[in-house]
Amino acid sequence: MARIGVFICHCGTNIAGTVNIPEVVEAAKKMPQVVYAEDNRFTCSEPGQASIREAIKEYQLNRVVIGACSPRMHESTFRRTLAEAGLNPYLLEMGNIREHCSWAHTDKGAATEKAIDLLKMAVARVAWHEPLFPRQTGLTKRALVIGGGIAGIQASLDIADAGYEVVLVEREPSIGGRMAQLDKTFPTLDCSACILTPRMTQVGQHPNIKLLSYSELDEVSGYVGNFKVKIRRKARYIDETKCTGCGECATVCPVEVESEFNEGLGKRKAAYIPFPQAVPNKYVIDKRGYPPCRVACPAGVNAQGYVALISQGKFKEALEVVRRTMPFPAVCGRVCNHPCELDCERGTVDEPIAIRALKRFIADYELKAGREKPTPPSRTKEEKVAIIGSGPAGLACAYDLVREGYPVTVFEALPQPGGLLRYGIPEYRLPQEVLDDEIKYIQEMGVEIRTNSPVKDLGQIFNQGYGAIFLGTGAPTSQKMGIPGEDAPGVRHALDFLRRVNAGEKVTVGDRVAVIGGGNAAIDASRVALRLGAKEVFIVYRRSRAEMPAQKTEIEEAEREGVKINLLAAPTKVLTRDGKLTGIECIRMELGEPDASGRRRPIPVKGSEFTMDVDNVIIAVGQALDKEALPKDLAYTAWGTLQVEQTTLQTNIDGVFAGGDAVSGPAGVIEAIAAGKEAAISIDRYLRGLDLAEGRPQALKKVEKVSKEGVETKPRKSMPLLDVGKRGGSLAEVELGFDEKTAIEEANRCLSCAVCSDCRECEKVCEAEAIYHERGEELIEEEVGAIIVASGVKPLDHTLFPEYGGGKYADVIGALQLERMMSAAGPTGGEVLRPSNGAHPKTVVFISCVGSRDERTGKDYCSRVCCMYMAKHAILLKEHDPETQSYIFYTDLRGPGGKMFEQFMWRAERKAGAIYLRGRISDVYQKDGRLMVSGEDQERNEPVEIAADLVVLATGLMPSDGAAELARTLNISYDVKNFMLEAHPKLRPVETNTDGIFLAGAAVAPFDIPECVAQGGGAAAKVLSLFGHDTITTEPTTAMVDALRCIGCLLCTQVCPFSAIDPELTRDGRTIAAINETLCKGCGLCVAACRPGAVNLRGFSDQQLLAEVKSLWQ
C-alpha cells in the first residue's frame, strides 16, 4: 500500500498568484492513497526540503508528489531530498503547476482546477513508481580533439598538461588552422605566427599528445566515457616516422600547384609542407589519382611524369620515366597516335599539350648527347622465354620480361629486327638509325634477338627449353580488293611497296600514281611515291574525310606535299591496254547508315563511274595475318586474327601467348606495346604458377577534378617541319623536333592533373628512405572518453562575388589573401602588391559584409571579425607604405565590443587615416586600369565612386567544409548554416546535447582568437571535470524486455537510434530482443514499436502512464 505525501509550492507569488493553494491542498488530501498534504512558500529552499524530509519520517511516506515547477528545473533537487530522507529518489513525481497553470492562465478558478487535475495524475502515477538504481560504468580517460586550430591546440594542451592523453586529429598536413595564416592579430598587432608557433611546437612535442595530422574522423560509436573512434589517415606517401623534414623531396619535385595556405597567391610543390613552421614537420605528397594522359595511354606510359621533368629541364630523368614503362621513346615520340593528347585536360582550356613531341624531344636529346650503356637487369629466373616477331609488341614483351629477370630470346624471320616499325613506316617519319638505337638499347638490356629465324613449329621451341612463348607476328600482308585487273603489272600493295623502299631496294614509280585507301599506310605510300619521283599522286578513298583513319596531321602534310585526295570514290576495275596499266575505273559513293565500326557505310551511286589515268596503283585497303608463315594448331577468330583469352592473351595452346596486330588486326604502335606488356605479366604469372587472370585488367583510377582556375590560355607549340620544297626526292625526316627552349615552354603548359606526377625523383633523394608511392590510406581505431569538436571556419570564396569584381579582376582580392601578402613569410615576402602588375597600391578600398548579413547567400549572420581586421589592415597598410589611403565601406561597425577594440578602430581612423564610409557597395567595375567602386555615401546622402588600385573583400566566415558531415558522424546537432549547436547558448556554451562531446572555437559561430582560446580552455575544463571521476553514473530509466511476451519480431532493433537492442537466444531456443543498458538512452521508440507490448521503459511503464491518464475520469 502506497503512502503518498503531496507538497504544494507557492513559488512566492509565481504559483500562488494564480492558483488557489489552500483549495489544492484540501483536494490533494482527498486523493486516493494520499496520507499527507501541505504547502510551502518555496519548496526548493532548505526549509521547504526539510519539511519534506520530516513529513516522510513522521507519516512514513513511501511516495512523494511535488506540485511546483517543471521537473527540468528541480527534479534532481527533490530526488536528492528523498535520498536524504532514506527513500529511493525515483519514488518522486512532479506536477508542473507553475509553467502549465499559473504561467499559462489568468483565470484563477480554472488554473486551480487544472492544478488539481495535474496533481491527481501525478498521485495516480506515483503509486506505480518502483525504486530504480542508477548504474556506474568505467571511463577511458583519454580525449579526442578534432581540429588543430588555436581552439583545438588550447584544448589539447590543457588536457595533456593535466596528465591525460589527447588524440589530436587535423585534416591538413599541419596544425595551426586559420591563425597560422594571419600576419598580425587585432587589437594588439602581435605577430600571429610568433605567438602561435610556440604552442604548435608544444603540441608536437608533448608526451601526452598523439598528433594525427592529414587525418579525418571516419566513424564514432559508444557513449560518454567509452567512445570508439575510427580515424582515416589520408595517404601521405611519406612515412612520418622516417621523414626528417629535410625538404629534399620538395626541392626536386617538378610539380608546382597553387598553395592553399597562401590562398592561391603562391605556389607549392606536390611534395610539401604548407608553411615552414608546420607541425608536424613531416612532408606529404599530394597525389590525386592518375592523370588523364596516363589513363588514356593503352600502355600506361606516365606522360605527366616526364612532361613535369621536362619542364624542369630534367631530360635524362624524364626519359627514365618513359623507359620505366616501355623501351620506345624515340619511336613513339614520332609515330604514336597519341591517345594521351586526345584526353589531355589542357585541351579543355585551349589545346592539348604536345605530349608526343615532348617525348620525342627527350629521346632525341639523348641520341644527340650520346647515352651510357644501361646496366642489364640481373637474371633472377631460370625459365627461358621465346618471343616470335620483333615488332613493338614482341620487343615490349621482351623488355618487361628481361627486367623481371627472365632470359629472353626474340626470333625474327626477316634480316633486321623491328617488324612493322622497320618495314612499314617510311624513313621520313621514322629514320632507321633512330629505330636501330632503341633496339640496341633493348639488346643492351639483355634481350637476345635472332634475325633470319622464322619459327614454324612451336613444339620445337618448347623442346629447346623455353618455358613460354609470345607470338607478336603482326599483320604483315596486304589485303586484296577483289576487283578485275588487280593482278596487273603496275599494281602494288602498300606494305610490300614500303618494305622494299625501307630495305633499300631500288623502287621506281610512274608519273601518275593512285593510292587506294585512307589509312596511315595509304598516306605513307602516297608520300613515298612523291619522293620517288611521281609527278601526281591521288588518294582514292570511299568515305569522306572525317572517316579517314590516318592521323590528321599526316593527311594535312600529304596534301601540302601535293597529294590529291579523291573522296567518296571506290575503284571498280583496273584498266590495262596491251598488258600495261593505263588507269582505274572508279565509282562515286555516298554515305548511308553507320555500320558495325560506327562509321557511315559507303554506298555506290549508280551510273557515276569515271576513270582515272594512272601508271601505278598502290593498294592500301587493309592488312592481314600471314597464316602461311604462322605455326600450325593455332585457333583463329572469325576475322582471321589469332584467338586469345581477352585479359590474359593466352592462345588455345598452353604456354603460348599472343598480342599486337596478330590479335587485334592493324592498330597503333602503342596498342601493340600495351599487348606485349600484358602478355609479359601473363608469362611471368604462368611461369611462376600463379593465377593468370586474378586482379586483371587493372584499371587506373583517373583523377576526378582538375583545377583550371586562373589558367591563362597559351597556344600549343607547333612542330617545326622541313620545308615542303626540300622534301621531294629525299627521305629526310619531315618533323624536325622541338629545341630545348620550346620543349620546356611546352611542358610548362601542363596542368599537372594528378598533382604528384609520379616521376619518383623524390625517392632518389630521400636519404631517410621515407617515401612510399604505393602506400594508401589507413584506418586506425582509438578509444577515448571525451571528444572536443574544434573544426573551425573558412572565409567565403571571394570569387563568388562577380558584382564586386571577385574572380573577374585580379586586383579584387579576399581579406585572407591580403593577410598572406602582408606576412613576411608569405608569397610576396611581406609586400602588398597589386596581383595584376605587382605595383604598390596607393588607394585600397575595403568592402565589408561580403556574403555575410545577406539573405541571398543564406548567411544572414554577422561574421564578427571583419570590422576589426579591416581596421587592422588599414593600420598595417599605412605602416607598409605611408602613401596608402584606405577607404572602408561598412554597413554597420560591429567591432568595438571587445577589449581595446574601440581604441583600435580609433587608431585606424585617426592615426592611419582610414576613411570610413557608410554604405554597401553596389558594384565594382574597371575603368582606365583602375577599379571603380560605387555605392552610396550615407553621411553625405549622395552616390559616391572611388577609383581604387586594390579592392579587398571582407568575405564572411562559414563553417569549414564537411562540418555537417562531421556533426552527423558524431550525432550532434548543427544549425542550418552548419554551425555546431551548443547545449544551451548561454549556460552550456561548450557542451553539446550528447554527453561527452564538447565544442570549442569558431565551429560554433564566428569567434576571434581570444574567444577561441577561452573556449578551448573551457571545453578542456569540461573534459577534465568528467575525467575527475572514476566512473560515470548513468540514468536507470532504460528500456526492458518482458521475455515471456516478446515474440522475437525484432522491429525494435530497427527503430533503435542507438543500436542498443540485439537479438538474444533464450534457454528454450526462442529469439527475443535484449537491451544493452549501457547504450540505451531511454528514448522509448522501442516501446512504441513493440506490438505485443513486451518492451517497457523504467520510470515510464505502461502502468504508470495509463494510471496517469485514467485518473482524469476516475
Partner 1 sequence: MAVLTPYREAVEAVEEAGGEALKLCYQCGLCTGICPWNTVRSFLVRRMLHESQLGLVDFEAEDTWLCATCRACVDRCPREVPIIDVMRALRRTIVGLGVGYVPDSLRITMKNISALGNPLGEAREARAAWAEGLDVKPFASGTEFLYFPCCVQAYDPRGQKIARAMVGILKKAGMDFGILGAEQSCCGESVRKAGNESLCESLAQGNIHLFAENGVTKIITTSPHCYHTFKNEYPELGGNFEVIHYTQYLAGLIREGRLKFTKEINKRVTYHDPCYLGRHNGIYDEPRLILESIPGLELVEMPNSGQNSLCCGGGGGRIWMETKKGERFSDLRVDQAIEVGASVLATACPYCIANFDDSVLTSDKGEIIEVKDVAELVEQAI
Q: Does 939 interact with partner 1 (rule: CB under 8 A)?
A: no
Q: Which span sits near partner 1 by CB under 8 A: 484-492, 561-569, 696-704, 931-939?
A: 931-939
Q: Does 921 interact with partner 1 (rule: CB under 8 A)?
A: yes
Q: Which span sits near partner 1 by CB under 8 A: 333-341, 929-937, 976-984, 1082-1090?
A: 929-937
Between 20 and 934, name the residue whose CB sits nearer to partner 1.
934
Give the nearest distance from C-beta 873 to partner 1 in angstroms.
21
DSSP notation for 543-599: S-GGG--S-HHHHHHHHHHT-EEE-SEEEEEEEEETTEEEEEEEEEEEEEEE-TTSS
Nearest to 464 by CA among 383, 393, 405, 380: 383
Determine the 3-state secondary structure of 315 from DSSP: helix
Grid coordinates belonging to 3: 503512502
Rounded Cα gap, residues 900 and 146, in angstroms: 31
Compute CA distances 25 → 7, 75, 91, whole Å: 8, 20, 20
Q: Does 892 interact with partner 1 (rule: CB under 8 A)?
A: yes
Rounded Cα gap, residues 425 and 520, in angstroms: 9
- Evaluate whether 654 touches 624 at the Cβ level (below 8 Å): no
Between 431 and 807, name the residue whose CB sits nearer to partner 1.
807
β-pairing, 226-233 with 778-784? antiparallel
Q: Does 803 interact with partner 1 (rule: CB under 8 A)?
A: yes
Between 670 and 933, name the residue whose CB sits nearer to partner 1.
933
Between 510 and 919, name the residue whose CB sits nearer to partner 1.
919
Q: Which residues contact 689 (CB under 8 A, 6 or more apart)?
A: none
Radius of gyration of the CA atoms of the chain, in A:
42
Between 258 and 936, name the residue whose CB sits nearer to partner 1.
936
Rounded Cα gap, residues 744 and 748, in angstroms: 6
Q: Does 935 interact with partner 1 (rule: CB under 8 A)?
A: yes
Q: Does 855 interact with partner 1 (rule: CB under 8 A)?
A: yes
Q: Which span sits near partner 1 by CB under 8 A: 80-88, 176-184, 459-467, 848-856?
A: 848-856
Give the nearest distance from C-beta 799 to partner 1 in angstroms.
18
Determine the 3-state secondary structure of 977 from DSSP: coil
Tell which one of 77, 836, 934, 1053 touches partner 1 (CB under 8 A).
934
Q: Which residues contact 556 (CB under 8 A, 6 or more apart)?
A: none
**Residue 414, φ and ψ in degrees, nearest 5:** -85, 170
Q: Which residues contact 1098 (CB under 8 A, 6 or more apart)?
A: 130, 132, 1036, 1037, 1038, 1039, 1040, 1082
Grid coordinates belonging to 747: 611542358
Tell which one of 49, 520, 799, 891 touches partner 1 (CB under 8 A).
891
Between 835 and 919, name the residue whose CB sits nearer to partner 1.
919
Name the residue with cell 602561435. Answer: 196
Q: Does 130 interact with partner 1 (rule: CB under 8 A)?
A: no
Q: Does 794 interact with partner 1 (rule: CB under 8 A)?
A: no
In the DSSP assignment, the letter for residue 1076 is -
Give the nearest distance from C-beta 889 to partner 1 in angstroms.
9
Strands (E), 580-717: 580-594, 600-604, 610-613, 616-619, 623-624, 656-658
Give the nearest distance from C-beta 498 to partner 1 in angstroms.
50
Give the nearest distance from C-beta 925 to partner 1 in angstroms.
9
Query: Which residues on adjacent β-strands are paired with residue 724?
Result: none
- Evaluate whether 1103 touches 1082 at the Cβ level (below 8 Å): no
Give the nearest distance from C-beta 939 to partner 1 in angstroms.
11
- Evaluate whether 304 touches 352 at the Cβ level (below 8 Å): no
How far does the chain reach from its first CA to its final CA, in angstroms? Answer: 19
Q: How many CB atoms neighbour CB 876 within 10 A?
A: 22
Q: Which span sits near partner 1 by CB under 8 A: 85-93, 656-664, 851-859, 1089-1097?
A: 851-859
β-pairing, 384-388 with 466-471? parallel
Q: Does 938 interact with partner 1 (rule: CB under 8 A)?
A: yes
Give the nearest distance from C-beta 485 to partner 1 in angstroms.
49
Give the nearest distance from C-beta 864 to partner 1 in angstroms.
16
Tell which one of 244, 637, 922, 973 touches partner 1 (CB under 8 A).
922
Rounded Cα gap, residues 829 and 480, in angstroms: 72
Name the residue with cell 581552439. Answer: 151
Q: Does 941 interact with partner 1 (rule: CB under 8 A)?
A: yes
Tell which one of 383, 831, 936, 1064 touches partner 1 (CB under 8 A).
936
Q: Which span sits near partner 1 by CB under 8 A: 341-349, 502-510, 610-618, 918-926?
A: 918-926
Q: Which span sits near partner 1 by CB under 8 A: 157-165, 222-230, 534-542, 937-945?
A: 937-945
Rounded Cα gap, residues 1060 and 1052, in angstroms: 10
Between 324 and 918, name the residue whose CB sits nearer to partner 1.
918
Q: Which span sits near partner 1 by CB under 8 A: 60-68, 167-175, 176-184, 933-941?
A: 933-941
Q: Does 457 interact with partner 1 (rule: CB under 8 A)?
A: no
Determine the 3-state secondary structure of 533 from DSSP: coil
Give the nearest distance from C-beta 862 to partner 1 in angstroms.
11
DSSP notation for 230-277: EEEE---SB-TTT-----HHHHH---EEE-TTTTTSSEEESEE-SSTT
Between 130 and 945, name the residue whose CB sits nearer to partner 1.
945
Q: Does 919 interact with partner 1 (rule: CB under 8 A)?
A: yes
Between 500 and 918, name the residue whose CB sits nearer to partner 1.
918
Query: Which residues on adjacent β-strands are paired with residue 478?
Result: 623
Interface with partner 1: number of residues (CB under 8 A): 21
Q: Which span sits near partner 1 by CB under 8 A: 310-318, 529-537, 671-679, 912-920?
A: 912-920
Q: Which span sits near partner 1 by CB under 8 A: 181-189, 604-612, 640-648, 941-949?
A: 941-949
Compute CA distances 814 → 260, 834, 945, whole Å: 13, 13, 20
Give the nearest distance from C-beta 942 to partner 1 in angstroms.
6
Rounded Cα gap, residues 33 and 165, in angstroms: 55
Q: Does 920 interact with partner 1 (rule: CB under 8 A)?
A: yes
Nearest to 719 by CA among 555, 561, 553, 558: 553
Give the nearest distance from C-beta 870 to partner 1 in angstroms.
16
Q: Does 809 interact with partner 1 (rule: CB under 8 A)?
A: no
β-pairing, 491-493 with 267-269? unpaired
Q: Does 918 interact with partner 1 (rule: CB under 8 A)?
A: yes
Between 136 and 938, name the residue whose CB sits nearer to partner 1.
938
Tell which one of 606, 856, 927, 986 touches partner 1 (CB under 8 A).
856
Between 893 and 1043, name the residue whose CB sits nearer to partner 1.
893
Give the nearest distance from C-beta 709 to partner 1 in angstroms.
23
Grid coordinates belonging to 212: 594525427
Q: Which span sits near partner 1 by CB under 8 A: 174-182, 593-601, 939-947, 1055-1063?
A: 939-947
Determine the 3-state secondary structure of 471 from DSSP: strand
Between 863 and 992, name the residue whose CB sits nearer to partner 1.
863
Q: Which span sits near partner 1 by CB under 8 A: 435-443, 451-459, 694-702, 938-946?
A: 938-946
Grid coordinates belonging to 249: 623531396
Query: Which residues on adjacent β-strands are paired with residue 68?
Result: 96
State the binding string over 665-694 for partner 1 (x if CB under 8 A, else -).
Answer: ------------------------------
Q: Which span sits near partner 1 by CB under 8 A: 32-40, 476-484, 834-842, 919-927?
A: 919-927
Between 952 and 1085, name the residue whose CB sits nearer to partner 1.
952
Rule CB under 8 A: which residues touch partner 1? 803, 849, 853-856, 891-892, 918-923, 934-936, 938, 941-943
